[in-house]
Amino acid sequence: MNAKVVVITGVSRGLGRAMAEEFIRLGHRVLGCGRSAQAVRELSARHGAEHRFSVVDVADDEAVREWAAQCLQEAGPPDLLLNNAAVVNRNAPLWKVPAAEFASVIDVNIKGVANVIRHFVPEMVARKQGVIVNFSSGWGRSTDREVAPYCATKWAIEGLSKSLAQELPKGMAAIPLNPGIINTDMLRTSFGVEAAHFPTAETWAEAAVPWLLELKAADNGRSLTVGERH
């Protein structure tokens, strides 16, 4: 097996943390970021110096620029860039979502993805190799009540990814990905106790990580869902 360099945002918890652990278990090199200093310390202590975990808010373009420069210097362009970091608004009709909360969802879920792309993708393009996965959602292809800000960002990720796919050189891919419904803190925010009926992030990652490793240039621009054939 050829070890890959994998960059993951949002490794503090949920899908990001579960993916980081599974990629490392399978022998790949992971460079991840999250907003929780405690989670970053735990991951750094648990795994060797080959892997890099950093405290970064993806909504902060300058912080992303510095982090990307360090990652690229140490490991070169990633083979797999996973824009996973996201937040969801507290359940509420759109007109009751405070402006600051709405802005936070936009800043992390859309601007954060653009910031990561801005600072990692140029070297991937220069090499004409690599897969960019921007995490969308079932709510990026449908809608529901009381999650309008989140839906808006995930629909945006679908369009952003498909447009990016048209700009990449042959040999690369940009993919908007629906991971499915997983029992995470974010899902519990929206679903409450009903979230317990869905798989944990760790169970999901066992199947999702090998599937992600099989993504290829032929998948460029496709709206995919984890587990479907590609």
Catalytic residue among 53, 120, 135, 150: 150
Q: How far apart are CA 148 and CA 131, in angstroms?
A: 29
> How many residues can be counted in the chain?
230
Task: Give, to the nearest 10 degrees, the angle between helix 99-106 and helix 148-167.
Answer: 30
Q: Which residues of 18-30 are buried (b: 16+ CB within 10 A; e: fewer)?
A: bbbbbbbeeebbb
Active-site residue flag, 150:
yes
Residues with catalytic function: 150
